[in-house]
Amino acid sequence: MYKVPSIKRYFATKYNTDDMPQYVDDAVFDNPTSGQPIVWAGTHMGILLIAIQIIIFNIVQVLINRNLNNYIFDNEKYKFIAILTFLTIAGVVNYMIVFKDKKYLIYFEDFNKISRRTIICYCVFFALGYILLIILIVYSFSWLKNI
């Protein structure tokens, strides 16, 4: 499709490029300000924050010796408020840590400077961290059995 002369001229005038597939790679996949890397970074940070909130919520339930899950999540209004609160807190913290003043650009620059071996170590470390976090979330619900 990109080899058709009229389409090539269109992209050359509209996007100032002769190589549209490379332009798409640069704009979508390799662009740290609006591309896929920042979407993935924000998504993973949000997942981690919500997971931590769930664990903290379960700890609070144990500390007050009261199971609030049924009370909150059986009532449609309270469920909506709880979910909105969890997402809002995660969004605000995510914004402050990653997106405020485009801090993620500094993180990406630092990440691009490290060796491939270190990147692999980070991947293994965070994969294990994710697995442990999931195990901890599941286990934290078992704390509520005695309440």
> Which H, E and C letters describe 15-64, residue by residue?
HCCCCHHHHHHHHHHCCCCCCHHHHHHHHHHHHHHHHHHHHHHHHHHHHH
**Least confident range of 5-9, 40-44, 48-52, 60-64:** 5-9
Query: Does the pTM exceed 0.75?
Result: no
- The rounded mean pLDDT for the chain is 85
Q: What is the pLDDT of residue 70?
A: 84
Taking only the tens place, the pLDDT of each residue in 23-35 is 777 766 767 666 7
Whether 124 has a pLDDT exceeding 90, the answer reads yes
